Structure 1
Amino acid sequence: MKTIYLIGAAFITLAWCGCSKEGRLDFVDSNAPAPMQISDVKVEATPGGGILTYKLPADQNLAYVKAVYEIQKGVFREAKSSKYTDTLRLVGFGDELSHNVKIYSVAANEKESDPVIVEVTPKTPPVKTVFKSAVFKETFGGVNVAIANPFKADLAIVILKDTTGNNNWVTVRTFYTAATVGDFAARGFEARPQKFAMYIRDRWNNKSDTVIKTLTPKPEIEIPSDTYKKLVLPTDQVALADPGYNMENLWNGLPDRRLYASSNASSLPQWITIDLGKKVLLSRFKQYMEQNDHCYTGSGLKTFELYGSNAPNPDGSWASWKLLGEFTTLKPSNLPLGQKTNEDINYACNLGADFYFTTQPEAVRYLRIKSLETYSSPGQVVIMELKFFGQIIP
């Protein structure tokens, strides 16, 4: 028996040595020379960057191609591409100046060829184009920035305030977004002339110019919800997921369950009606999403319309209602369904998604929310809370 054990142990040892030797077959030859240079480089300028295409050398030592370039004084970036492709993408430029780019052929042992140097003159970067078209103005309770971001660039919208009137600037809000459009507001300021500033920053810390304005926030209050009540009209959505998910949860502010949910068997579109109990000149409103299962997913409300009336027809028809706005819930990251960032969650669940009116609506007492689309539910609609802002009309 001892002989069998010894033979077995010897076999295992030989097998291990064989595997070890086989694992060392794919080694890096430190003496291999640097590969040949690439050739025939073509440059295509892009907003804030460029696309390089080239001809690869017929060199077995080539492992990858690397570009090294300076996006700001003393700040260098690298772009790499494998030996199986002929394209390098450069990003991060904050200007439209000409930049030298050094392109290296690199071996597996990291030996580099002499660089091929090309000039790249990027088109205007998004941080500048977005700033140029941005609208910075006063709004109810503060200031507002509206942007168009067609390239879906990752941007930070920074709003500052002069706290003393002597150019002592303090950042009051920073909004992060990659959405194609955005409408952001910093609120909580008195309705008097004050100096505000705004600039835009990208993820490489390139910054736009700064605009400084003296703006007077419009007076605004959160409309007290103590007079709100549901108004159930014919054709309104009445079936609930559970009796505990009733419409009053939209405004009762209870910390343990602030959630409205229609039935799982319901269909879209569907609508509910709220009696504010007084006539209100609306400036904006907030929708809060349920964080666990319905934040940019599930039955979270995505697209909807808001209607107003002062004398709704008791038959539930639409003739007495006026469309106040069509809305889609902003997702700051612009990530696809199933993906979200901490900024997304904070915006939708903690701060509340903001909605504004392109045209100031007339004062109304009754509101009707028509749900058109959720994120992934065929019919159920879930809303955590609604808050309305503006002025009460005596």
Structure 2
Amino acid sequence: MQREAAAIREAWLGRVLSTRPADRPAAEAAISGLYRLIGLPPPRFHWVSSPAKGLATVPPGTRAWETIDRLAEWPVPRRLSALATTLRHELDARTRPRQQPLDQIIRRTTFLPLQRSVTSTLIPALTAAHDSPVLRRVWYDTLYASWVAEYDALRRAAGAVFTDEQRRHLGLWTAATTSCGWWWPREDTCVVSERPVALHTEMWGENGEVRPHCADGPAVRYADGWDLHAWHGMAVPAWVIADPSVRRIADEPNVEVRRCAIEHMGWASYVDQARLRLVATAPDPGNPGCELQLHDMRGGTRVLLAVNGSVERDGHRRRYGLTVPAFDDPIAAAGWTYGLSAEHYSRLQRRT
């Protein structure tokens, strides 16, 4: 059961993160079908090359209140979201009371990994174009294919039985969430984005989750040149990937961006290029065979270099740095990062 659910998840992940050109006929047919279900005629379609273009596009005939900053007020997204919610309630009524254990397996194996993958991979690109948590709640969450995949897995792996009408509605949502990129439904016109032409990810969770990462270029790129750089799941400025330097790191106000840039440079290279003074070293009692290094930074802080206690997916242990107060003892600094005294940290058998 779990293996079958995982296979279904992988198939859906391939569709959700596809970089092939959108299937425009399938997308338009599905979206038109959803419009009909809420009592509206099919809209005119306006295709754009990226979410950035979609958010900036105002089709001819757009009403004054149908600007993107007022998306929460648009009636069509609200009605479509309500349509999806109603369908989910109907399907839950047919499946959940009788298949609770199976539902939990599928939710853990299919729904949650897909939800996290979309959130970490496709939402950052949307956020970079238009950062609005409110908009994500009122509309974009409806376009996550994860909820459709969950019911597909319940049907295929757990034997859930849906009516013909319910299967037809699920089919419309399947095509609408997987055959194109994001879309913005106005009353008369629907703006639809193409998929990215490049998408680089890495595995990062226990159940097949992925996140954007690329060490030598954009992690997400669209045909019009709009792109997003990411380092192990975090969206970063292009310089972090293309040209990290000590000067740029020093000028960067965001501590997480600084961390990503230093990791990309490599902590050893950064320490050398920044000419950080070595304060002290000590064997790491929480990670036998590895060394703690304490370096002095400007401004009264210090950086502790340590080796991760856990092995990465590539078989190596990552070297990382943590900013700490002005300790003179590396063991005291390491203990501080765990909320422990030097004495308690020195008694650790192994950390992870």
- Fold shared by both chains (TM-score > 0.5): no
Query: Which one has a larger percent strand, Structure 1 or Structure 2?
Result: 1
Structure 1 or 2, whichever has the larger Rg, is 1
- TM-score normalised per structure 2: 0.22
